[in-house]
Structure 1
Amino acid sequence: MYYLPLLFKLHAELNKRVAKNLILFLGDGMSITTLAATRSYLGQKYGHYGEEIKLSFEVFPFTGLAKTYCVNSNVADSACSGTAYLSGVKANIGTVGLSAAVQHGDCKSQKDGLHSVTGLMDWAQKAAKATGLVTTTRVTHATPAAAYAHSADRKWEADVDLKDTQCDDIAKQLVRGRVGSNIDIVLGGGRNNFLPTKYKDDQGYAGRRKDGANLIEEWIKAKNSLKKSPLFVYNKKQLLEIDDKKYNSVLGLFSADHMPYHLDSPDDYPTLTEMTTKAIKMLSSNDNGFFLFVEGGKIDMAHHETKARKALDETAEFAKAVEAALKMVDPLNTLIVVTSDHSHTMTYSGYNKRGSDILGLSRSNGTDKLPYTTLSYANGPGYKIPNNSQRHNLLLDNLKHVNYTYPSLVPLYRETHGGEDVAVFAKGPWSHLFSGNYEQNFIPHAIAYAACIGPGLTLCNSDFTT
């Protein structure tokens, strides 16, 4: 049945409807190498060789490649890249929601607001759509922050992180900012950035805020003043038991810091799939549709630690969330775009037999007669110190350990990002716009065109409909 994909393409009709609903899935650090390795990781779990399977979004009809560099850096971080694919403007490394006129750490330029940029979250709200944000990181981390905040430094997540208190921190912008305060569903980690130092949360962790503000209480009061029905939740049980008919605004902060890796996660933490499906269910009640931004953020963190097993598992969890979303929406009126912000330095090499353990050793040794792993990194904490001028013998290591740090060539405390293009997958109205190779900041403009939102060229204000 090798010809079936050809038949599907031959008979496929381009969907040129207006996109009522929009979902942007972002696998942080999800390089093309990560995708290829995850196929084997996931496929072998279910008795396949692995290489031949496709992740849920790899069956989407249209794919492309996005160039990820930032204005002043050939390799992107999650802040400048987030600004690109959420607002449509390329930025300087380390900055969020600001044009490249603002240099990293420039509080004065952040405060004057002349160079602030908004994007999909703002455009959707102005079109009276419901909006949501889901992440496995802190909700104030660089990637989610790019959806609603303007910060000259991605690290200014709470007031304690700023030397110059004239600038608003990112948590404050989520609660008090024009865009942040109007997001209907916010689910992720980072609870301590919203609580004062004197306050301990339900897990016993103290807050980080020195200004004394309890932003969770403030969020509830602000939503009530807008005639919303708000609810704050902090564990899986509370999230899953939300009465969708009673509440229409939810702030879920399930961890003091980032949420745990899936392989480490206790039962009282919701999965990315559970957060995504709850968000879609609640946002779907809006007659004007919705925009939902979903980040699988722990892929990136595992790569930074050269913990390849966790990186692949987080990618598999991300694919599950996409699959769950597909079952809940109408593909005729819902545009789903899946992409990444940047790559990593993990490589996939050797000439192993089909079905070999992707997380194991290559079938052959190096010229030094010592083994090497199929997956390795160009740099990072997995550097193995030579023994008597010989490369470390990996047969002495426990590659099955969940926290095993895979070998890296150059010793660094944290592995770096990579600079190559990332894949983009699209399904739904105007998904054919996402084929080819383009700048990363093209993505939100194409989404906005399909949905008739934003101040730029859209389906509803152009003649390019045939």
Structure 2
Amino acid sequence: MEAVAISIRLVIWLTGIFSPVFCDKSTPNIALPDVSDKIIDPLFWKNVASQKIHSFKQSSLYGHMYNTINPPKNMILFIGDGMGSSTITGARYLKAANLNRSAGDVLLDWELWPTVSLVRTFSADRMTTDSASSATALLCGTKVAQYVVGLAGVKTCCTCKSFDSVQQIKSSLILAQENGMSTGVVTTTRITHATPAAAYAHTTDRDQESYPKTSPYNSSFVCDDIASQLITNGVDFNVILGGGSKMFYQNVSDVTPKVPGSRNDDRNLLEQWLQEQQKRNRRHKMVFDSEELKQSNLADIDYLFGLLAPSHLEFDIRRRNQLSLSEMTEIAVKILSRNPKGYLLLVEGGRIDHAHHGNQAKYALTDTLALERAVNNAARQVDADRTLMVVTADHSHVYGVVGYAGRRTHVLDVDESQRANDGYPYLISAYINGPAGLVKEPRRDPSTDRIFEDDYRQQALVPLGYSTHAADDVPLYATGPFSELFHGPLDNTYVAYATMFALCLDPYTHEPHCIRRNASFKESMSTCHLLIVITYFFHRFVL
């Protein structure tokens, strides 16, 4: 094991020596125009992204790779909700402790990937983003105000009104569907929650998950809730896996779980989804139970709608009878990979964020490790030469790994190397603000608390009912063909356009690499047709 640690340090040392040789020449320092008037204009962010993509194509190093390697056929975008750099550090140290190793001896799997960058996350109206505006940036390529999902040109949130088709921005997943690719969304949150909603919904209020809302401007106009938009806009997703079944119905029926739903309009959207699939004569399945899904024959399913909990799925460490994020991702890849034109899959470890909001570091770090297992499992499952994989976060959190504790100290323990001015040690995992902050009472000695319990709330400096997000840039890791697109500091809107470019989606359908990509489909389909013919003759004349 010590040899592994030495090897890692050697790689880092060699990288420092040879990076001037192998890295491309630096990009000119081009100042961004004043975005105050343009920040909600999708065209502005498209132009910014296209300039960076053009630099990639013209680069002396990456340009050669662009012109020679096969472009990606598939892509998986992993989002750790709230997984900032401090969370990655904490999860890495927890992984080391779980392996009885010292902090720094092991890395998370994606930290070994060849491309790493930092992503700016501010929204159109706040320096610190929420998940709705950041997911819209990552999937749709434009800045929006807080709480807004999939709508361009909206300066404020939460007002129900009609929006034209120009304002309703298509996500990269919808564009992939229009290009004949298979698509899927996998999450540990409700499928109508902010991040997955950006894949298909258009609303000024992310909280409008299941309640239709009447416009203050026109009492006869009703804004569609996010759940109903999944049925109308997301009917062509091949895989939908997550929680939130109660958002889709009010009363229990033959096609719903046996617990009351949360809708107030008597609509049964689950029944509507089944009708839409039957109308299209598709091989489909709706499932609410993890065990039933495990026993299903995936070869018979082209369209899967799995809602495995009434609300969010459990934190991974509390999971008993629910599929893990890794298992759900594996199911999705098995279904999506049958398409010779490729697939685009969004996978969200969404409950990292919920844990941080509650100052519950153990939940956050173990859910980060659950995301790592999903990434690791997918990496073994996919065609590495044709699959681009990206891991990033939508925003950071006010969690930190602090102090000067020894490397053998558990990341959830106290730092005994020094005492605070009140005479007590302090926690290595701590928060700037949140519900564990004290108002008018002195700080307790954390070493006497149950600090290793799953649901323990780490101490916070400022008392708030709900811990806030943080504005620091978040890491991005990429591997596979065209992973070099993500080289250097990025805006979160760039992730959407880099996805569209790599997969030859609108507006990049006529790029030179798309000819090679389309040719590979024809070869794959010809091989597929040949296998079908051989199989037919074998069964017809041999058996």
Query: So what's the TM-score if we normalise by structure 1?
Result: 0.93
Give the 3-state SS of the residue equivalent to 2:430 in structure 1: strand
Aligned AA (2:236): N
- Give 2:245's match in structure 1, choosing from 186, 191, 204: 191
Structure 1 residue 51 displacement after superposition: 2.0
Q: Distance in 2 between matches of 1:143 and 1:384?
A: 31
SS at match of 1:425: strand
Q: 345-354 or 113-122, which moves further after superposition?
A: 113-122
What amino acid is the match of 1:312?
A: L
SS of residue in 2 equivalent to 1:251: strand
CA shift for structure 1 position 201:
8.4
Q: Confirm or deny: 8 A CA contact 2:124 2:145 kept in the other structure.
A: yes
- Compared with structure 1, are the counterparts of its residues 90 and 359 closer, same or farther at alpha carbon in structure 2 (3 Å cutoff)? same
Offset at residue 115 of structure 1 (A): 1.1
Instruction: Confirm whether residue 54 of structure 1 aligns to residue 104 of structure 2.
Output: no
Question: Do structure 1's residue 455 and structure 2's residue 511 form an aligned pair?
Answer: no
Does 1:284 pair with 2:340? no
Q: Deviations over 1:189-229 (max 9, x none)?
A: 00000112455987642111222111111111101212211
2:406 is aligned, of 353, 357, 364, to 353
Q: Deviations over 1:297-349 (max 9, x none)?
A: 00000000000001000000000000000001112110111100000001111
CA distances 1:240-298 after superposition (whole Å, capped 9, x unpaired): 222122111000000000111111112x2100000000000110001101000000000
Pairing 1:441–2:497 present: no
The CA distance in 2 between the partners of 1:80 and 1:458, in whole Å, is: 29
Matched letter for residue 296 of structure 2: I
Partner of 2:224: 168
CA distance in 2, matches of 1:309, 1:458: 47
Contact persistence 2:74–2:388 (CA under 8 A)? yes
- How many equivalent residue pairs? 457
Q: In structure 2, which of residues 287, 292, 298 is the aligned counterpart of residue 238 of structure 1?
A: 292
The whole-number CA distance in structure 2 between the counterparts of 1:25 and 1:249 is 21
Contact 2:504 2:514 (C-alpha < 8 Å) held by counterparts: no
User: Among residues 74, 85, 88, which one is paired with 1:35 in the alignment?
Assistant: 88
Question: Residues 315-334 of structure 1 correspond to what in structure 2 (within 5 A)?
Answer: 315-334=368-387
| Separation of aligned partners in 2, 1:412 and 1:72 | 22
Whether 2:290 is the aligned partner of 1:223: answer no
SS of corresponding position for 2:235 = helix
Partner in structure 2 of residue 428 of structure 1: 480
Amino acid aligned to 1:238: E
Tell me the amino acid that sits aligned with residue 23 of structure 1: I
1:455: how far off? 1.6
Question: What is the aligned counterpart of 1:87 among 111, 122, 140?
Answer: 140
Structure with greater helix percent: 2
Native 8 Å contact 1:19 1:335 kept in 2: yes
In structure 2, what residue type is equivalent to 1:297?
A: G
Q: Identity of paired residues, percent?
A: 33
1:373 corresponds in structure 2 to 427
Structure 2 Cα separation of the partners of residues 22 and 176 of structure 1: 24
- Aligned mate of 1:413, from 435, 443, 465: 465
Tell which has more relative contact order, 1 or 2 (C-alpha 8 A, sep 6+).
1
Q: Are the equivalent residues in 1 in contact too, given 2:214–2:223 (CA < 8 A)?
A: no
Indicate how the Cα distance of structure 1 residues 347 and 422 shifts in structure 2: closer, same or farther if over 3 A, else same: same
Amino acid at match of 1:211: D
CA contact (8 A) 1:148 1:173 kept: yes
Which residue of the partner structure matches residue 125 of structure 1? 177
TM-fit CA distance, 1:44? 1.2
Q: Over aligned residue pairs, what C-alpha RMSD do you find?
A: 2.3
Does 185-194 or 99-108 show the bigger shift? Answer: 99-108
CA distance in 2, matches of 1:217, 1:203: 12
Q: Distance in 2 between matches of 1:4 and 1:39?
A: 18
AA aligned to 1:169 is: D
The match for 2:534 is: none
Q: Which residue of 2 aligns with 1:63?
A: 116
Which deviates the most, 75-84 or 38-47?
38-47
1:256 alignment partner, one of 310, 313, 320: 310
1:305 equivalent in structure 2: 358
- Bigger shift: 196-205 or 397-406? 196-205
* 451-460 or 329-338: bigger deviation: 451-460
Q: Which amino acid aligns with 2:101?
A: H
1:398 aligns with 2:454: no
Whether the aligned pair in 1 keeps the contact of 2:125 and 2:155 (CA below 8 Å) is no
Q: Which stretches in structure 1 are left out of the alignment for 5+ residues?
A: none
- Which runs of 5 or more structure 2 residues have no equivalent in the other structure? 1-6, 24-60, 216-220, 518-543
Task: Please report how far the alpha carbon of residue 440 of structure 1 lies from its aligned counterpart in structure 2 after TM superposition.
Answer: 0.6
Question: Using the alignment, how far apart are the partners of 2:105 and 2:439 within structure 1?
Answer: 36
Note closer, same or farther for the CA distance 1:181–1:226 as it changes in structure 2 (3 Å cut): same
Counterpart of 1:441 in 2: which secondary structure?
helix
Distance in 2 of aligned mates of 1:253 and 1:378: 35
Does the CA-based 8 Å contact 1:200-1:207 persist in structure 2?
no
Who is 1:144 aligned against? Answer: 196
Q: CA deviation at 1:385?
A: 4.7
Distance in structure 2 (CA, Å) of the matches to 1:430 and 1:211: 46
Q: Secondary structure at the match of 2:90?
A: helix
SS in 1 for 2:348: strand
Q: CA deviation at 1:136?
A: 0.1
TM-score, length basis structure 2: 0.80
CA contact (8 A) 1:132 1:185 kept: yes
AA of the residue aligned to 1:155 = D
